[in-house]
Amino acid sequence: MVFLAFKFFVIYEERTMSKVLDTDELNRLRELEDTIGYRFRDKGKLQLALTHSSYANERRAEGLTSNERLEFLGDSVLNIITSDYIYRNHPELPEGEMTKTRAAVVCEFSLFKCAQKINLGKYLYLGKGEENTGGRKRTSILSDAFEALIGAIYLDGGIMKAGEFILGAMKDIHHSINNKEVFRDYKTRFQEIVQKHSEQHISYRIIDEKGPDHDKVFITELSVGGKAYGTGEGRTKKEAEQNAAKAAIDKIMVKK
Protein backbone atom coordinates (compact mmCIF):
# COMPACT_ATOMS: atom_id res chain seq x y z
CA MET A 1 0.00 0.00 0.00
CA VAL A 2 1.27 3.45 -0.89
CA PHE A 3 0.61 6.32 1.48
CA LEU A 4 0.89 10.05 0.94
CA ALA A 5 3.93 11.65 2.50
CA PHE A 6 3.34 14.68 4.72
CA LYS A 7 5.83 17.51 5.08
CA PHE A 8 5.37 19.92 7.95
CA PHE A 9 7.24 22.22 10.28
CA VAL A 10 7.10 21.69 14.04
CA ILE A 11 6.35 25.03 15.69
CA TYR A 12 6.74 23.79 19.24
CA GLU A 13 6.66 20.58 21.22
CA GLU A 14 3.85 20.08 23.74
CA ARG A 15 5.15 19.56 27.21
CA THR A 16 4.49 16.09 28.57
CA MET A 17 5.37 14.54 31.90
CA SER A 18 8.88 15.77 32.53
CA LYS A 19 9.68 13.29 35.28
CA VAL A 20 11.92 10.31 34.65
CA LEU A 21 9.78 7.23 34.23
CA ASP A 22 9.95 4.84 37.15
CA THR A 23 9.94 1.09 36.57
CA ASP A 24 6.20 0.63 37.19
CA GLU A 25 5.24 3.42 34.82
CA LEU A 26 7.63 2.23 32.13
CA ASN A 27 6.27 -1.31 32.42
CA ARG A 28 2.73 0.05 32.15
CA LEU A 29 3.53 1.87 28.93
CA ARG A 30 5.39 -1.13 27.54
CA GLU A 31 2.35 -3.28 28.25
CA LEU A 32 0.28 -1.01 26.03
CA GLU A 33 3.01 -0.96 23.39
CA ASP A 34 3.00 -4.76 23.33
CA THR A 35 -0.77 -4.74 22.87
CA ILE A 36 -0.73 -2.28 19.95
CA GLY A 37 2.38 -3.76 18.36
CA TYR A 38 4.36 -0.53 18.25
CA ARG A 39 7.34 0.55 20.37
CA PHE A 40 7.69 4.32 20.79
CA ARG A 41 11.09 5.88 20.37
CA ASP A 42 9.81 8.86 22.36
CA LYS A 43 7.72 7.68 25.32
CA GLY A 44 6.64 11.27 25.89
CA LYS A 45 4.47 11.12 22.78
CA LEU A 46 2.69 8.06 24.13
CA GLN A 47 2.19 9.74 27.49
CA LEU A 48 0.77 12.80 25.75
CA ALA A 49 -1.69 10.65 23.80
CA LEU A 50 -2.93 9.21 27.10
CA THR A 51 -3.26 12.57 28.89
CA HIS A 52 -6.88 13.70 29.17
CA SER A 53 -7.62 17.40 29.57
CA SER A 54 -8.95 16.80 33.10
CA TYR A 55 -5.51 15.52 34.18
CA ALA A 56 -3.64 18.33 32.44
CA ASN A 57 -5.95 20.95 33.99
CA GLU A 58 -5.33 19.61 37.48
CA ARG A 59 -1.61 20.04 36.87
CA ARG A 60 -1.76 23.35 35.06
CA ALA A 61 1.06 24.73 37.19
CA GLU A 62 3.35 22.06 35.74
CA GLY A 63 2.54 23.22 32.22
CA LEU A 64 1.21 19.86 31.07
CA THR A 65 -0.62 19.60 27.75
CA SER A 66 -3.59 17.36 27.01
CA ASN A 67 -4.00 14.99 24.07
CA GLU A 68 -6.45 17.26 22.23
CA ARG A 69 -3.97 18.46 19.58
CA LEU A 70 -2.83 14.89 18.97
CA GLU A 71 -6.48 13.90 18.63
CA PHE A 72 -6.89 16.52 15.88
CA LEU A 73 -3.84 15.18 14.06
CA GLY A 74 -4.87 11.56 14.53
CA ASP A 75 -8.29 12.27 13.09
CA SER A 76 -6.71 13.52 9.86
CA VAL A 77 -4.33 10.56 9.63
CA LEU A 78 -7.21 8.15 10.26
CA ASN A 79 -9.24 9.72 7.49
CA ILE A 80 -6.48 9.49 4.87
CA ILE A 81 -5.67 5.87 5.74
CA THR A 82 -9.35 4.91 5.70
CA SER A 83 -9.95 6.78 2.44
CA ASP A 84 -6.97 4.98 0.90
CA TYR A 85 -8.27 1.60 2.07
CA ILE A 86 -11.77 2.18 0.72
CA TYR A 87 -10.48 3.54 -2.60
CA ARG A 88 -8.15 0.60 -3.21
CA ASN A 89 -10.40 -2.20 -1.96
CA HIS A 90 -13.82 -1.05 -3.17
CA PRO A 91 -13.61 0.14 -6.79
CA GLU A 92 -17.33 -0.55 -7.12
CA LEU A 93 -18.29 2.28 -4.76
CA PRO A 94 -19.14 5.70 -6.24
CA GLU A 95 -17.84 8.84 -4.53
CA GLY A 96 -20.99 9.41 -2.47
CA GLU A 97 -20.98 5.87 -1.08
CA MET A 98 -17.27 6.10 -0.34
CA THR A 99 -17.93 9.18 1.76
CA LYS A 100 -20.75 7.49 3.67
CA THR A 101 -18.67 4.37 4.22
CA ARG A 102 -15.72 6.35 5.56
CA ALA A 103 -17.98 8.28 7.92
CA ALA A 104 -19.36 5.01 9.26
CA VAL A 105 -15.91 3.49 9.73
CA VAL A 106 -14.41 6.48 11.59
CA CYS A 107 -17.48 7.35 13.67
CA GLU A 108 -17.14 7.81 17.44
CA PHE A 109 -18.54 4.42 18.36
CA SER A 110 -16.35 2.61 15.88
CA LEU A 111 -13.29 4.19 17.50
CA PHE A 112 -14.69 3.43 20.95
CA LYS A 113 -14.95 -0.22 19.97
CA CYS A 114 -11.30 -0.23 18.83
CA ALA A 115 -10.20 1.49 22.05
CA GLN A 116 -12.02 -1.14 24.11
CA LYS A 117 -10.29 -3.93 22.22
CA ILE A 118 -6.85 -2.70 23.30
CA ASN A 119 -8.10 -1.81 26.80
CA LEU A 120 -7.01 1.79 26.25
CA GLY A 121 -8.98 3.12 29.21
CA LYS A 122 -6.68 1.30 31.62
CA TYR A 123 -3.72 3.46 30.61
CA LEU A 124 -5.28 6.94 30.53
CA TYR A 125 -4.17 9.79 32.76
CA LEU A 126 -7.45 11.18 34.11
CA GLY A 127 -8.33 13.90 36.58
CA LYS A 128 -10.00 12.91 39.82
CA GLY A 129 -13.47 13.93 38.61
CA GLU A 130 -13.31 11.84 35.45
CA GLU A 131 -11.78 8.96 37.37
CA ASN A 132 -14.60 8.95 39.92
CA THR A 133 -17.37 9.17 37.31
CA GLY A 134 -16.27 6.28 35.10
CA GLY A 135 -14.16 8.19 32.58
CA ARG A 136 -12.10 5.12 31.71
CA LYS A 137 -15.18 3.58 30.11
CA ARG A 138 -16.70 6.75 28.60
CA THR A 139 -17.30 6.57 24.88
CA SER A 140 -16.14 10.09 24.04
CA ILE A 141 -12.95 9.89 26.11
CA LEU A 142 -11.90 6.52 24.68
CA SER A 143 -12.65 7.42 21.07
CA ASP A 144 -10.73 10.70 21.40
CA ALA A 145 -7.79 8.91 23.04
CA PHE A 146 -7.72 6.36 20.22
CA GLU A 147 -7.36 9.18 17.69
CA ALA A 148 -4.67 10.79 19.85
CA LEU A 149 -2.79 7.47 19.90
CA ILE A 150 -2.89 7.40 16.10
CA GLY A 151 -1.49 10.93 16.05
CA ALA A 152 1.30 9.94 18.44
CA ILE A 153 2.31 6.94 16.34
CA TYR A 154 2.31 9.12 13.23
CA LEU A 155 4.63 11.70 14.83
CA ASP A 156 6.90 9.04 16.31
CA GLY A 157 7.11 6.57 13.44
CA GLY A 158 5.58 8.15 10.35
CA ILE A 159 2.59 7.52 8.13
CA MET A 160 3.50 3.90 7.34
CA LYS A 161 3.58 2.86 11.00
CA ALA A 162 0.38 4.78 11.71
CA GLY A 163 -1.26 3.05 8.76
CA GLU A 164 -0.16 -0.38 9.95
CA PHE A 165 -1.64 0.30 13.37
CA ILE A 166 -4.94 1.61 12.00
CA LEU A 167 -5.44 -1.26 9.57
CA GLY A 168 -4.60 -3.80 12.25
CA ALA A 169 -6.76 -2.25 14.95
CA MET A 170 -9.72 -1.73 12.62
CA LYS A 171 -9.55 -4.95 10.61
CA ASP A 172 -12.88 -6.21 11.97
CA ILE A 173 -14.57 -2.97 10.92
CA HIS A 174 -12.96 -3.14 7.50
CA HIS A 175 -14.17 -6.74 7.27
CA SER A 176 -17.69 -5.45 7.92
CA ILE A 177 -17.33 -3.15 4.90
CA ASN A 178 -16.41 -6.10 2.73
CA ASN A 179 -19.55 -7.89 3.93
CA LYS A 180 -21.77 -4.81 3.47
CA GLU A 181 -22.28 -4.60 7.22
CA VAL A 182 -20.60 -1.29 8.05
CA PHE A 183 -20.71 -0.50 11.77
CA ARG A 184 -22.87 2.56 12.38
CA ASP A 185 -23.69 3.16 16.03
CA TYR A 186 -25.35 1.29 18.86
CA LYS A 187 -28.76 2.96 18.47
CA THR A 188 -28.87 2.11 14.78
CA ARG A 189 -27.68 -1.44 15.39
CA PHE A 190 -30.27 -2.02 18.10
CA GLN A 191 -33.03 -0.61 15.89
CA GLU A 192 -32.03 -2.99 13.10
CA ILE A 193 -32.06 -5.96 15.49
CA VAL A 194 -35.54 -5.08 16.77
CA GLN A 195 -36.99 -4.41 13.32
CA LYS A 196 -36.00 -7.89 12.16
CA HIS A 197 -38.40 -9.43 14.66
CA SER A 198 -40.89 -6.77 15.67
CA GLU A 199 -42.42 -3.39 14.87
CA GLN A 200 -42.66 -2.33 18.50
CA HIS A 201 -41.77 1.24 19.39
CA ILE A 202 -38.27 1.94 20.73
CA SER A 203 -38.02 4.76 23.25
CA TYR A 204 -35.34 6.42 25.35
CA ARG A 205 -36.04 8.37 28.52
CA ILE A 206 -33.87 10.00 31.15
CA ILE A 207 -34.49 8.30 34.47
CA ASP A 208 -31.92 10.15 36.55
CA GLU A 209 -29.35 12.95 36.52
CA LYS A 210 -26.27 13.17 38.73
CA GLY A 211 -23.80 15.91 39.51
CA PRO A 212 -23.83 19.72 39.28
CA ASP A 213 -25.05 21.54 36.18
CA HIS A 214 -21.53 22.07 34.86
CA ASP A 215 -20.64 18.39 35.27
CA LYS A 216 -23.92 16.57 34.69
CA VAL A 217 -24.22 12.83 34.10
CA PHE A 218 -27.43 11.57 32.49
CA ILE A 219 -28.86 8.07 33.01
CA THR A 220 -31.13 6.84 30.24
CA GLU A 221 -33.37 3.80 29.97
CA LEU A 222 -34.12 2.10 26.65
CA SER A 223 -37.52 0.43 26.27
CA VAL A 224 -39.15 -1.61 23.51
CA GLY A 225 -42.92 -1.76 23.61
CA GLY A 226 -42.84 -0.49 27.18
CA LYS A 227 -40.37 -3.15 28.37
CA ALA A 228 -36.97 -2.00 29.67
CA TYR A 229 -34.02 -3.45 27.77
CA GLY A 230 -31.02 -1.52 29.03
CA THR A 231 -29.71 1.57 30.80
CA GLY A 232 -26.70 3.74 30.12
CA GLU A 233 -25.08 6.90 31.39
CA GLY A 234 -23.14 9.70 29.77
CA ARG A 235 -22.12 13.32 29.97
CA THR A 236 -24.62 14.11 27.21
CA LYS A 237 -28.10 12.74 26.54
CA LYS A 238 -26.86 11.35 23.22
CA GLU A 239 -24.00 9.48 24.88
CA ALA A 240 -26.34 8.07 27.52
CA GLU A 241 -28.72 6.82 24.81
CA GLN A 242 -25.86 5.16 22.91
CA ASN A 243 -24.63 3.43 26.06
CA ALA A 244 -28.16 2.24 26.85
CA ALA A 245 -28.40 0.76 23.36
CA LYS A 246 -25.01 -0.91 23.80
CA ALA A 247 -26.15 -2.45 27.10
CA ALA A 248 -29.28 -3.75 25.37
CA ILE A 249 -27.25 -5.27 22.52
CA ASP A 250 -24.85 -6.92 24.96
CA LYS A 251 -27.83 -8.36 26.85
CA ILE A 252 -29.30 -9.80 23.65
CA MET A 253 -25.97 -11.29 22.57
CA VAL A 254 -25.51 -13.04 25.91
CA LYS A 255 -28.88 -14.74 25.47
CA LYS A 256 -28.01 -16.00 22.00
Active site residue 75: yes
Domain 24-178 = CATH 1.10.1520.10:
yes
> Catalytic one among 108, 130, 144, 147?
147
Task: Report pLDDT digits (tens) over 65-108.
Answer: 999 999 999 999 999 999 999 999 989 889 988 888 888 888 88
Q: What is the pTM of this model?
A: 0.70
Task: Report pLDDT digits (tens) over 10-35.
Answer: 444 455 554 567 888 899 999 999 99
Q: Please indicate whether the domains covering 24-178 and 186-255 agree at the CATH topology level.
A: no
Q: What is the CATH number of domain 186-255?
A: 3.30.160.20
> Catalytic one among 14, 25, 68, 75?
75
For residues 72-108, b (16+ Cβ closer than 10 Å) or e, as one string? ebbbebbebbbbbbbeeeeeebeeeeeeebbebbbbb
Active site residue 239: no
* Domain coordinates in residue numbering, the chain: 24-178, 186-255
